Amino acid sequence: MADPMPDSGPGESEANAADAADGGTSNRICSPGDRTFDGCNWSTCRSDGSGWQTTLMDCEIKILLQIQFEAGSWTLSDNQRQRLHEATTALRRALEPPERKIAVVGHVLPSESRTQEALRQIATRRAEAVHKALLQEGLPKERLSTKAAPVEDGNSNPVIWRVVTFELEPNRPYATDFPRDAGAR
């Protein structure tokens, strides 16, 4: 947990209005015990109502799904097509914030071809194959893009090879990424 951020948080004006209505003191800006969660950080009203204490965490949302391919291939196997189909609901939910997009990223290992151009084409075609399948599943074309990742040397951690991965743009959390009662106690 990082250092708290004093006197900042959600609902300050609402708390002031509530205090004025119930005869509370003018220095109270929130109701003690009030808590909010934005999917990344908690904001908690101090016990005296003088301000908000907020955790400051560096958060990002990631899609961990990887669609695998045979060496040198960009054809989706039935098994991988089914995995993608099963993940469509989660991918659609990830697109709920209207400004969010998904980049479909093709990966390749150097051993899959002899030339850099051929490697780039394999990675690009893998991303395009998954992109096409996502469009067939009804995901919006304008919210999806494709790209080829740099050629992997097999030493990355974690190892990413002969797969398509997904990147959210932007990858910061939104309230729609979490159920309304996320983290509530």
Instruction: Please state the rounded mean pLDDT for residues 153-166.
Output: 75
Q: What are phi and psi of 163, to 5 degrees?
A: -140, 170
Amino acid at residue number 133: A
Reply yes or no: is the peptide bond before residue 110 cis, omega within 30 of 0: no
Amino acid at residue number 41: N
Please report the DSSP string for the chain in residue order. -----TT--TTHHHHHHHHHHHT--TT--S-TT-EEE-SS-EEEE-TTSS-EEE--------EEEEEE--TT--PPPHHHHHHHHHHHHHHHHHT-STT-EEEEEE---GGG-SSHHHHHHHHHHHHHHHHHHHHHTT--GGGEEEEEPPPP-S--SS---SEEEEEEES-S--GGGS-TTTT--
CA distance 91 to 138: 11
pLDDT grade for 62, boundaries at 50, 70 and 90: confident
- Round the average pLDDT of the chain to a whole number and report it: 81
pLDDT at residue 3, rounded to an integer: 38
Amino acid at residue number 79: N
How much of the chain, in percent, has pLDDT values that exceed 70? 75
Domains of the chain: 12-54 (no CATH), 63-174 (3.30.1330.60)
